[in-house]
Amino acid sequence: MRRVNVLFVILLAFVLSYGCAQKRLNTQSGRPEVVVDCGDVQLVKNIFHNRMLNEGYNVVAENNLSVEYEREASVAVDFLFAISFGNKGGKPKDEVIFNFMDMKKNVKVVANLRTIRSDGNRINANDGKSAFKFQEEMERLKTEAENNCF
């Protein structure tokens, strides 16, 4: 039994250190971001909004140039948080905040990724594998917006 505990601790340390060792995105802000070659902020915002709703996110707050989304975190994140921080009566949530910047002929979209612990504390998720995957998805949405811009 003791050997299983030692192996589990070693595996957990490896997983956590791998996540911490991820490189930062090579963007101006260090977060997922794109510049869409389209001057229609509302069109760009709608394309990003539709994708987030299709991915199971709910709108938490919105104004003209910013939208905040949340959804329950994946089972893997829930498991890691339960081990690391203890389960304090709630599942962690994924939070994404998009900021849309009108640059006249372009729209810059910057995402802020965080995980919300059950105690309400927010943990930066702009580094690591999930941020790189999110950047790839934003690139696809950029192409979709550019193809629909008139």
**Residues near 100 by beta carbon (within 8 Å), at least 6 away in sequence:** 41, 44, 45, 48, 65, 66, 67, 107, 108, 109
Give the pLDDT score at 80: 59
Q: Is residue 14 part of a domain?
A: no
Give the pLDDT score at 103: 95
Domains contained in the chain, number: 1
> Tens digit of pLDDT per residue, the chain (150 long)?
555 454 444 444 545 544 555 577 888 888 999 999 999 999 999 999 999 999 999 999 999 899 999 998 875 655 555 555 555 556 788 999 999 999 999 999 999 999 888 778 888 888 888 899 999 999 999 999 999 997
Determine the structural domain holding residue 124 and report its residue range: 25-148
Give the pLDDT score at 11: 46
Q: Is residue 10 part of a domain?
A: no
Q: Is residue 16 part of a domain?
A: no
Q: Is residue 8 part of a domain?
A: no
Please tell me the number of Cα atoms within 13 Å of 47 on its side-chain side.
Answer: 22
Q: Is residue 12 part of a domain?
A: no
Q: Is residue 129 part of a domain?
A: yes
Percentage helix, strand, coil for the chain under 3-state DSSP, each rounded to 5: 45, 30, 30
Residue 64 belongs to domain with CATH number: 3.30.530
- Give the integer Cα–Cα distance in Å for 7 and 139: 39
- Phi first, then psi: what are they for 32, rounded to 5°? -60, 130
Q: Is residue 44 part of a domain?
A: yes
Find out whether 97 and 16 touch, Cβ atoms under 8 Å. Answer: no
If 0-12 CB within 10 Å is exposed, 13-18 middle and 19+ buried, where does residue 19 land?
A: middle
Give the pLDDT score at 53: 96
C-alpha angle 128-111-120 in degrees, rounded to nearest 5: 75
Instruction: Estimate the crossing angle of helix 75-85 against helix 2-20, to 10 degrees.
Output: 110
Q: Is residue 19 part of a domain?
A: no
